[in-house]
Amino acid sequence: MTDDRSPNQQLLPLTAQALTDHGSSAAHLSIGGCDVVALVAQFGSPLYILDELTLRTACQQYRRGFAQYYAGASQVLYASKAWSCLAVCAIVADEGLGIDVVSGGELYTALESGVLPRSLYLHGNNKSLPELELALNSGCVVVVDNWHELKNLDQLARSRSQNPLVMLRLTPGIECHTHEYIRTGHLDSKFGFDPNDVPAVFSFLSQSTLQCLGLHAHIGSQIFELQPHQDLGGVMAEWFLVAQRDYGLSFSELNIGGGLGIRYIESDDPPSIEEWVQTVCRGVTESFTQRHLPLPKLLCEPGRSLIGPACATAYTVGSRKEIPQGRTYLAIDGGMSDNPRPITYQSQYRAVLANRLDAGADQVVTIAGKHCESGDILIRDLKLPLAQSGDVLVVLATGAYNYSMASNYNRIPRPAAVLVSNGSASVILRRETYDDLLRQDCLPEALHRQTTTS
């Protein structure tokens, strides 16, 4: 069974339904064939609920789009910084995707999930020597970000008599309308080689033992515009031409990054996955054909648009505070430690009551987290049915940069995550315990003596 809806355009996972045959008069939210209220009763809250079908559908739509709109070879990579864990890596690899990793930890996770090293691409603007050594040991592709790294990697490769596969990350100078923290393609960015450095880098590579496959660029995240992605093809094709004509470098791969946005609130209107892929393919094809260059193997790195819509986070409602002529605050049993995006990026979300899905929205509330921080607000001015303690609140589209950015702020254990499919749920991340919080703590003997004798 296939679903033609583009997951990034949906507020709810593709399998979300109103469940009415569960013994209650009110409809419950069901995801992946599982009653969300029952999931919370079984696994506790907060609880990340990952819908396998939604994730697989997004993977398939990306792959199908490149097969349809691009005449050359292609490879979709999952940007695992959005959510890196064994289960997610295994699912995307099973769908034929490679993985973009940005640290030794993400690389190790992908390798342990069984992903083939040649389909892994290591990014990062300050890779450590141990990370570079892990990359060389594994055989993954290293996306070189700057001179410091390029020289370190070249020296390391020579000392080991290796010829590692690399790509160069360039800053294309393309602006897009998104949050300033997640714009990466403009010239004033910490990522990538400046265009003025590129000729010298090409000259260095022409004499290096490094095997440079091609170029990489990424213009940002949560982007709703298509034109910047169309423009990127021309910028990169010009550098391919310069590399071949002036330095004898025959590049074979072009990675145009990711950045396609998703729908977090009703007014968000992102392009579909198919529209994004078609735009990228057209831009690259036209740009390379105009310069009489062979089409490169085309890579992209979606993260948010793959995993974001596939997950929802369930909370249990706790206290309520009504301010006369002011806001009504509804507190939940999580907040900024399991979803730091609202306090970090002023991100907006929507939520529903899972145990009364069909009730009318008759109040406006602000959803407050439980952390000792005034800014720990997940959603402002949300329309909900009259909510009370014990209700199950589900925040939508939380797959991207929620668990991956989660913390133990206030010494709160991180939530569990379950994978749901065809009516069954499997734990993919165990809930942390208080013992887990102390696992890395060390109490010096002198302090231990003081606490036991005082």
Instruction: Annotate 22-61 with DSSP letters as a single string.
Output: SSSSS-EEEETTEEHHHHHHHH-SSEEEEEHHHHHHHHHH
Helices 273-290 and 227-247: crossing angle in degrees, nearest 10, is 30
Q: Quote the pLDDT of residue 85.
A: 98
- Separation of alpha carbons 392 and 405, rounded Å: 23
- Residue boundaries of the structural domains of the chain: 7-51+308-437, 52-307
CATH number of 7-51+308-437: 2.40.37.10
Which is nearest to 83 in space by CA: 92, 94, 74, 96?
92
Q: Report how far Cα 388 is from the mean position of its chain's Cα atoms.
A: 33
Instruction: Report residue 89 as tokens.
Output: 């890596």
The answer to whether 176 is a known catalytic residue is: no
Distance CA 9, CA 339 (A): 21
Beta strands in 81-196 (DSSP E): 98-101, 120-122, 141-144, 165-169
Rounded to an integer, what distance in angstroms lies between the CA atom of residue 311 and that of residue 304?
11
Give me the catalytic one of 85, 89, 281, 372.
Answer: 372
Do the domains spanning 7-51+308-437 and 52-307 agree at the CATH topology level?
no
Contacts of 378 (CB under 8 A, 6+ apart): 332, 335, 336, 339, 342, 349, 351, 367, 368, 369, 395
Secondary structure (DSSP) of 214-260? EEE----SSB--SHHHHHHHHHHHHHHHHHHHHH-----EEE----B
DSSP state, 170? Answer: B
pLDDT at 452: 65
Angstrom distance (rounded) from CA 325 to CA 92: 49
| pLDDT of 180 | 41
Q: Are strands 74-79 and 98-101 parallel, antiparallel or unpaired?
A: parallel
CA angle 343, 348, 351 (to 5 degrees): 115
Q: What is the amino acid identity at position 44?
A: G
How far is Cα 307 from Cα 406, in angstroms, rounded to an integer? 16
Position 416 scores a pLDDT of: 98
Indicate the CATH number of 52-307 among 3.20.20.10, 3.40.640.10, 3.10.310.10, 3.60.21.10: 3.20.20.10
**Minimal CA–CA distance to 49: which of 12, 86, 6?**
12
Task: Give the pairing type, strands 165-169 and 141-144.
Answer: parallel
Predicted local distance difference test score (pLDDT) of residue 262: 97
Residue 66 carries which DSSP code? H
pLDDT of residue 454: 62
Cβ-defined contacts of 238-243 (< 8 Å, 24+): 238/287, 238/291, 239/170, 239/198, 239/215, 240/214, 240/215, 240/288, 240/291, 240/293, 240/296, 241/291, 241/293, 242/198, 242/199, 242/202, 243/202, 243/215
Q: What is the dihedral angle through the alpha carbons of 26, 27, 28, 29, rounded to the nearest 10 degrees? A: -150
pLDDT tens by residue, the chain, 454 residues: 567 999 999 999 999 999 998 777 899 999 999 999 999 999 999 999 999 999 999 999 999 999 999 999 999 999 999 999 999 999 999 999 999 999 999 999 999 999 999 999 999 999 999 999 999 999 999 999 999 999 999 999 999 999 999 999 999 876 544 434 334 444 567 888 998 999 999 999 999 999 999 999 988 888 988 888 888 899 999 999 999 999 999 999 999 999 999 999 999 999 999 999 999 999 999 999 999 999 999 999 999 999 999 999 999 999 999 999 889 999 999 999 999 999 999 999 999 999 999 999 989 999 999 999 999 999 999 999 999 999 999 999 999 999 999 999 999 999 999 999 999 999 999 999 999 999 999 999 888 777 666 6
